[in-house]
């Protein structure tokens, strides 16, 4: 192995193995993809560098969703070029690659604008990484952004158990990719392509491997995760609810989450799963974007505010403890003060425990970019500030409402101070617990004693560790 990983040095002796660094921007799908790319590089003999400047190969896994996110890649390439010049002066080198959604959307333009880049490839091409790296290493500038037909998930190498273990007891698992909804502001249908659901058998196999390596909480990922409609193990088409039931059966998997969902795909079975499955955490990220019916129509969201309220009510009937989070866009073309007031009203009526809110950013090639009545930036900024103040208030109110409650926390990692461990509440809040390090990776029972601005602080109730699946009634107190 050593001989394969290493390069002959000037004297013919073997030197250090090749190193890589993957820097991730954007959403959790990119985090998952970066891990798969790392696994692929690991199986090619690469080892992870401490940081980008120390690596022989740096991959930027990029995000194209808003202009600011997309621009980050160019400033990062500029910075890397300087690090590469330095390495070259010292007799070394560095390959710079751009992957992800900017790569998919801009392709050749990236090498035109940033000639330091050696390879550009989109999210549907990750399984061809070994070929791309070999070509780039021999001096070719590689640009690969077409959508090949083969199932990249099947072709990507899986993580080794020790790699999974080093990533802790929670894991992401992509089950669906792409989007057929075509919201008028969004680049995803163009960068990630049409909706594709992985067959259930492959997802279950990957989940079993993760569980065997110690993973206890799985977050299922997809741009439209609740539109999942993959081939089931019985040959029938399975929806997300069916898949969640099968995943909950896996020994060792004690918590399930899924993100990101579209309101139109919240079917009855999925809502019922929030009542019936103890493993399914009482938390749902359900982007609404706007509370104005006029905006929702212009955004092509395919639902109105009444439908959103109806889903929220049905979810709360099924699972009274469920907490909701959402995404919002302010300053969408044509948004008036009255439209924005509708958004504020929706937020007040629903009450969100967490949210992401953005100023509308015109994305080239999307229908909204050409709409009349783009909203002036100062108006969008003022609306964003007002919305975020309300959302922050709701988040703090929810955190305060947890004080005094007893709940399960899955302890994931060391806290900032010695003697502290940090885990997540059922509602995804970070919880800081005074606990011995031996409890890392364990599900414990805690009582929350106070709420800070981003975390809860809690005491261990007893030393009970839930090695078995917690009983249904207790899973999410």
Residues that bind ligand 5AD (CB under 6 A): 65-66, 185-186, 287, 289, 327, 329, 358, 360-361, 363
Question: Smaller CB distance to ligand SF4: residue 58 or 186?
Answer: 186
Per CB under 6 A, the list member of 224, 261, 425, 429 interacting with ligand SF4 is 224
Work out what residue 69 binds among ligand SF4, ligand 5AD, none; the CB cut-off runs from 5 to 8 Å by kind: none
| CB crowding 147-176: b at 16 or more within 10 Å, else e | eeeeebbeebeebeeeebeebbbbbbbbbb
Is the Cβ–Cβ distance between 388 and 398 less than 8 Å?
no
The CA-atom distances, in angstroms, between 206 and each of 189, 220, 237 are: 26, 12, 19
Query: Which range touches ligand SF4 (CB under 6 A), out of 16-24, 175-183, 240-248, 463-471?
Result: 175-183
**CA 121, CA 130: separation in Å to the nearest integer?**
12
Cβ 204 to ligand 5AD, closest distance in Å? 28
Q: Per CB under 6 A, does 183 bind ligand SF4? A: yes
Q: With contacts defined by CB under 6 A, how many residues of the chain interact with ligand SF4?
A: 10
Can you spell out the DSSP letters for 212-278?
HTT--EEEEE-TTGGG--EEPTTSSEE-HHHHHHHHHTSTT--EEEEE---GGG--HHHHHHHHH-T
How far apart are CB 262 and ligand SF4 at their closest, in Å?
5
- Quick one: which segment of 24-32, 39-47, 90-98, 177-185 binds ligand SF4 (CB under 6 A)? 177-185
Instruction: Decide which of ligand 5AD, ligand SF4, none touches 189; Cβ closer than 5 to 8 Å per partner kind.
Output: ligand SF4
Position among 19, 223, 326, 361 found at the interface with ligand SF4 (CB under 6 A): 223
Region of 92-100, 186-194, 427-435, 444-452 interacting with ligand SF4 (CB under 6 A) = 186-194
Q: Which of 123, 125, 132 is nearest to 155 (CA)?
A: 125
Q: Binding segment for ligand SF4 among 153-161, 176-184, 196-204, 276-284 (CB under 6 A)?
A: 176-184
Residue 165 binds which entry of ligand 5AD, ligand SF4, none, with Cβ cut-offs from 5 to 8 Å by kind? none
CB of 101 to ligand 5AD, least distance (A): 11
Contact, 82 vs 100, CB < 8 A?
Answer: no
CA distance 215 to 47: 23
Shortest distance, CB of residue 383 to ligand SF4, whole angstroms? 19
3-state helix, strand, coil in the chain (%, to 5): 40, 25, 35
We find the least distance from the C-beta atom of residue 385 to ligand 5AD, in angstroms, to be 16
Instruction: Classify 291 in phi/psi space as left (phi over 0), alpha (psi -120 to 50) or beta.
Output: alpha
Least distance from ligand 5AD to the Cβ atom of residue 427, Å:
20
Work out the angle between the directed axes of helices 337-350 and 377-402 (0-180°, nearest 10): 10
Choose which of 26, 122, 189, 426 interacts with ligand SF4 (CB under 6 A). Answer: 189
**What is the maximal distance between C-alpha atoms in the chain?**
74
- Judged by CB under 6 A, the chain residues 261 through 290 that form the site for ligand SF4 are 262
The distance of closest approach from Cβ of residue 434 to ligand 5AD in the complex, given in angstroms and rounded to an integer, is: 36
Q: Which is nearer to ligand SF4, 181 or 208 (CB)?
A: 181
Binding to ligand SF4 (CB under 6 A) within 456-475 occurs at none
DSSP one-letter code for 280: B
Q: Is 374 exposed, middle or buried (0-12, 13-18, 19+ CB in 10 A)?
A: middle
Binder among 41, 129, 142, 186 for ligand SF4 (CB under 6 A): 186
Answer for the pair 214, 169: CB distance below 8 angstroms, yes or no.
yes
Instruction: Please state, in angstroms and rounded to a whole number, the distance separating the CA atoms of residues 390 and 401.
Output: 17
- Could you say which of 72, 160, 165, 181 contacts ligand SF4 (CB under 6 A)? 181
Q: Are 65 and 26 in contact (CB under 8 A)?
A: yes
* Residue closer to ligand 5AD (CB basis): 358 or 398: 358
**Contact indicator for 394, 440 with CB cutoff of 8 Å:** no
- Give 179 or 460: the residue with its C-beta nearer to ligand SF4: 179
Say which residues have a Cβ less than 8 Å from residue 453's Cβ, sequence separation at least 6: 396
CA angle at residue 226 from 222 to 230, to 5 degrees?
A: 80
Site string for ligand SF4, 74-113 (x = CB under 6 A): ----------------------------------------
Contact positions toward ligand SF4, by CB under 6 A? 179, 181-183, 186, 188-189, 223-224, 262
């Amino acid at each position: 192995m050593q001989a394969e990983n290493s390069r002959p040095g000037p004297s013919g002796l073997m030197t250090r193995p090749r190193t890589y660094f993957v820097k991730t921007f954007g959403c959790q799908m990119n985090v998952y993809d970066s891990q798969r790319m790392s696994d692929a590089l690991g199986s090619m003999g690469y080892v992870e560098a401490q940081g980008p400047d120390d690596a022989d190969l740096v991959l930027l896994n990029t995000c194209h969703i808003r202009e600011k996110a997309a621009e980050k890649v160019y400033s990062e390439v500029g910075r890397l070029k300087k690090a590469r010049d330095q390495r070259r002066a010292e007799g070394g080198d560095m390959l710079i690659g751009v992957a992800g959604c900017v790569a998919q959307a801009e392709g050749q333009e990236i090498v035109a604008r940033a000639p330091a880049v050696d390879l550009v490839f989109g999210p549907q091409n990750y399984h061809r990484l070994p070929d791309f790296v070999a070509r780039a290493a021999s001096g070719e500038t590689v640009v690969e952004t077409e959508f090949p037909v083969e199932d990249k998930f099947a072709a990507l190498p899986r993580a080794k158990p020790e790699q999974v273990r080093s990533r802790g007891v929670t894991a992401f698992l992509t089950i669906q990719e792409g989007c057929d909804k075509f919201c008028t502001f969004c680049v995803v249908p163009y960068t990630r392509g049409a909706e594709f659901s992985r067959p259930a058998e492959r997802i279950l196999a990957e989940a079993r491997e993760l569980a065997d390596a110690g993973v206890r909480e799985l977050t299922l990922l997809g741009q439209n995760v609740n539109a999942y409609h993959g081939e089931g193990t019985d040959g029938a088409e399975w929806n997300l609810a069916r898949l969640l039931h099968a995943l909950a059966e896996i020994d060792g998997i004690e918590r399930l989450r899924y993100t990101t969902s579209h309101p139109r795909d919240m079917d009855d079975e999925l809502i019922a799963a929030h009542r019936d499955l103890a493993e399914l955490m009482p938390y749902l990220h359900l982007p609404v974007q706007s509370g104005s019916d006029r905006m929702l129509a212009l955004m092509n969201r395919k639902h109105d505010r009444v439908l959103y309220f109806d889903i929220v009510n049905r979810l709360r009937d099924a699972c009274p403890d469920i907490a909701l989070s959402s995404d919002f866009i302010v300053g969408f073309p044509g948004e008036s003060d009255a439209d924005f007031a509708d958004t504020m009203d929706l937020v007040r009526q629903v009450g969100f425990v967490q949210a992401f809110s953005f100023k509308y950013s015109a994305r080239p090639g999307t229908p909204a970019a050409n709409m009349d009545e783009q909203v002036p930036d100062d108006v969008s900024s003022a609306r964003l500030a007002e919305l975020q103040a309300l959302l922050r208030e709701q988040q703090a109110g929810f955190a305060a409402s947890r004080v005094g409650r007893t709940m399960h926390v899955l302890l994931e990692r060391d806290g900032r101070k010695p003697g502290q461990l940090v885990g997540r509440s059922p509602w995804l809040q970070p919880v800081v617990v005074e606990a011995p390090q031996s409890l890392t990776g364990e599900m414990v029972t805690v009582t929350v004693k106070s709420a800070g601005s981003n975390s809860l602080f809690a005491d261990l109730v007893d030393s009970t560790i839930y090695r078995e699946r917690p009983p249904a009634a207790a899973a999410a107190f």
